[in-house]
Structure 1
Amino acid sequence: MTATYVDVSAPFRIIGPDMPGEPADEREKFERLTKEHPDEYAEALQQAFLQSKLHLARTDPDMDLEDRDRMASALAEQFEQDFGVTQEARPIHVGYGFLYYQTFKRYFATGTSLGWDIICPDSPGGNVSNWLYVTAMNRAVRGLEAFVSYYGQNWSTFSVWDWARPAPNQLVVDVPLAFIGDYRRTVTSHGMPRQVISVTNTTVELSPGTWRNMVALWNHAQNRHDLIYWFDYAATLAQQTAMSTFGNWGPIVETFQPFYSGTRPLGSLGASICTRDSGGNWGPWGLLTPNQSYVHNGNVGFRVEFLDSNYNFAVRS
C-alpha cells in the first residue's frame, strides 16, 4: 500500500485538549497566500539565507577545515556561485539558540520530527534594520526550515525553506504574519504573554530511497493541526544523517547585524524531538536536553530573559 501522510507522520505534541488525530490539509491555502501576497524582499531573503548558511558551513566549530571546505564547495556547486575559500573559525550567524551535537543529530533511522513554539512578536523592535530569523531544523541534512522572518520593522513573514529542492526553488512558503491569524496565539510563559506559532517539522522515509519533508501548524481557531506543506524526493539514510553542518541547529535566532539593542523577546517554547526507528516506529516526544544540544551565544547584544535547558528560551536586547 502506498504510504499516506497519516501512515508516516510523527505523532503530534498535544496542544489542544480535544485535538483531533488527523490534520487538515491546507497546502493549497498556503500556496495561494504565498502567490497572492508576494514578498518584495523574497529574492533578497533567499540571497541572505544562502549567504548565512555558507558562512555557517565555512566556520562551523564542529567541523575541521577539510569538512568546511567540502561543504562550501558543495554550496558553490549547488547554487552556481563562487563563494571563495574557507575562512578560519569565527562565530557563526547564531545570535542565540540550541545547536545539536553531531552524535545526536545523526541518531535516527527512518524519520525525525521537531515540534516547537516560535516566540514571534509582530515586529522585532529595537534597532533591527536587516534580516532576522527565528528558525530551526529537525536534524535531517536534507530537511527543511519552517521559520519566522523579519526584515526591519515593517515586514514579517512565516516561511518554509526546503533544502531538498533544487535551487532556486527552496523558498516554498512565504506568507505575511498578518494573514495567518488562526496560527498565531498568545500563551503565558515565565509570567509574561508571548505570541507564538506552533510548528511540527518532519522528515520521514516513505519507502527505501524516498523521503518526505512536511510542515504542520497548530490552528488554534479550529483546535487542530493543519498540514501546510510537503515534498517527496529521493535520498538515502546516509545523505540524511551525514556529518554535516546542515541540520545541526535546533531553535535559534539567526542574525545579520553585528549588534542588537532594544529588541522584543524572541525564542522557543517546548522544543521537542520525536524519532522514528528502522522498523518505522515513532518513539515518544521528548523535550530537547543538554545531552542532545548545547547553547550557543553569538554575543551580538542579546540578553537571556529565561532559559530552561534546552527547550525554552527567550532573548531580548
Structure 2
Amino acid sequence: MTGTVLDPSAPARIVGPEMPGATVDTREAFARLTEEYPDENVEAARHAFLMSKLHLVRTHPDVELADRERVVTAMAERLELGYEAMRTPVPGGVGYGVYYNEVFKRAFATGTALGWDIICPSAPGGNVDDYLYVTAMNRAVLGVEAFVSYYAQTPPRFKVYDWARPATPWQLDIPLSSLGPYLRTVASHGEIFQVMGVTNTTVEVASGTWRNEVQLWNASTGNQDLVYQFDYAATLAQQTAADYNGSWGPIVETFQTAYAGTIPLGGLAISLVTRDVNGNWGPWGLLPWYNSYIRTDNVGFYVQFLDPNYNFSVKS
C-alpha cells in the first residue's frame, strides 16, 4: 500500500514512500463546488443520516439497555427531531467497522486527529438501493464526519457533517467525480483499490475555543489541501463526554436489511494522533486492536481482510 496523509497541525503521518508536501487552503474552491453541484435530495439525505445515528445509538454495544432511550431522546432533542422520528424504525446499522474503546475514545486533552484512506469505488454495485456510507469520527464528540456517501447506484458524493453545527445540513457535499485529484489507487492484500486520503482534526486553538478541520491528500500536486474549517466554543468535558458521538472509527454504515454483490469498501492506514494538556502532539500511530473493537450487524458483509484494526475491506 502506498499513500501519504499529512495533518497540517500535527506531526506528519507518512504511509508509503511519498513525502508530504505543502498545505494549501482550498476552502473557497470546495464551498463553490458544493454550490455548483447541489444534491437534489439534500433534506431527505440529512434526515436519513440523522435517523441512522439514532438507530446506531439504540444498538450501540457500549450503551446500557436501561440508558438507551434516554440517550436517544437527548440526541434527538439536540438534533431537533420530533417524537415520531425517534420512534421510526431504521433498517441497517453497521455493515462492518471499527469502534473505539471507551478509555481510548476519551484519551486526549487538547486535540485529536484521524487520518485514513477511504476505500471508495465509483459505484457500490450489488443490490444497494438506499444510502450507504463509508464514514468515521476522530473521537471528539463535537468533531466532524468527512465521508463518502452512496445512494443506490447513482454517483457517490463526498460530504462533511459537522457535529458542532448539528442544525445545518452538509458543510460540503460534492460529487466524487469532481474530485479527481484526490482519488488514487493503492495496492493492499493483492487487490487494487480506489481511495481518498482524509484527515479530520479537532483541536483547541485558544482557551474554550475548538477548531474542526478536514484535509484531503491531493495526489496530483503532492499537497495536503485544507477543505473545511470551523471554530466554536466548547469545553474539554464536552469533547470527551461519555457520549455516543465520536465512538466510531471507520465504518461501513448501512440503511438496508441485507446486502449482496457489493464492491469492496473499507479503510486503509487508519491512524490517530493525540494532543496533550500542554498542547504537544504525540506521534501518529496505526489504530491497534487493543484500543478498538470490530462491530458488525450481520447485514450481509463479509471480511476480505483485517489487519487489526487499521486496515479492512469488506464486500457482500
Cα distance between partner residues in 2 of 1:179 and 1:271: 25
Partner of 1:277: 276
Count of residue correspondences? 308
Partner of 2:183: 184
The one-letter code matched in structure 2 to 1:18 is M
Deviation at 1:11, TM superposition (A): 2.4
Q: Which runs of 5+ in 1 are unaligned?
A: 1-5
**CA deviations over 1:247-304 (Å, ceiling 9, x no partner):** 0000000000000000000000000010000000000000001111001121111111
Alignment check: 8 A CA contact 1:58 1:86 kept: no
Structure 1 residue 17 corresponds to structure 2 residue 18: yes
The one-letter code matched in structure 2 to 1:282 is W
Give the SS at the match of 1:133. strand
Cα distance between partner residues in 1 of 2:238 and 2:8: 20
The one-letter code matched in structure 1 to 2:136 is A
Partner of 1:119: 119
Deviation at 1:155, TM superposition (A): 2.8
Give the SS at the match of 1:281. coil
* Identity of matched residues, %: 59
Cα distance between partner residues in 2 of 1:31 and 1:86: 32
The one-letter code matched in structure 1 to 2:113 is S
Q: Which runs of 5+ in 2 are unaligned?
A: 1-5
Query: 1:74/1:301 Cα in 2 relative to 1: closer, same or farther (>3 Å)?
Result: same
Partner of 2:172: 173
Alignment check: 8 A CA contact 2:144 2:212 kept: yes
Deviation at 1:207, TM superposition (A): 1.1
**CA deviations over 1:223-253 (Å, ceiling 9, x no partner):** 1100000000010000000001100000000
Cα distance between partner residues in 1 of 2:106 and 2:263: 34
The one-letter code matched in structure 1 to 2:126 is G
Give the SS at the match of 2:156. strand
Partner of 2:3: none
TM-score (norm 1): 0.93
Give the SS at the match of 1:50. helix
Partner of 1:3: none
Deviation at 1:92, TM superposition (A): 7.1
Alignment check: 8 A CA contact 1:25 1:227 kept: yes
Cα distance between partner residues in 2 of 1:111 and 1:216: 16
The one-letter code matched in structure 1 to 2:145 is E
Alignment check: 8 A CA contact 1:204 1:211 kept: yes
**CA deviations over 1:30-60 (Å, ceiling 9, x no partner):** 1000000011122111011100111122232
Alignment check: 8 A CA contact 1:93 1:256 kept: yes
The one-letter code matched in structure 1 to 2:104 is F
The one-letter code matched in structure 1 to 2:46 is Q
Cα distance between partner residues in 1 of 2:113 and 2:130: 30
Partner of 1:98: 98
Partner of 2:221: 222
Cα distance between partner residues in 2 of 1:197 and 1:79: 29
Alignment check: 8 A CA contact 1:30 1:228 kept: yes
Alignment check: 8 A CA contact 1:183 1:219 kept: yes
Query: 1:92/1:99 Cα in 2 relative to 1: closer, same or farther (>3 Å)?
Result: farther
Partner of 2:196: 197
Alignment check: 8 A CA contact 2:92 2:255 kept: no
Moved more, 51-60 or 238-247: 51-60
Cα distance between partner residues in 1 of 2:302 and 2:239: 34
Query: 1:107/1:19 Cα in 2 relative to 1: closer, same or farther (>3 Å)?
Result: same
The one-letter code matched in structure 1 to 2:216 is L
Moved more, 92-101 or 285-294: 92-101
Give the aligned CA root-mean-square deviation in angstroms: 2.0
Cα distance between partner residues in 1 of 2:76 and 2:179: 35
Give the SS at the match of 2:72. helix
Alignment check: 8 A CA contact 1:59 1:91 kept: no
Cα distance between partner residues in 2 of 1:101 and 1:50: 23
Deviation at 1:8, TM superposition (A): 7.7
Give the SS at the match of 1:315. strand
Query: 1:144/1:110 Cα in 2 relative to 1: closer, same or farther (>3 Å)?
Result: same
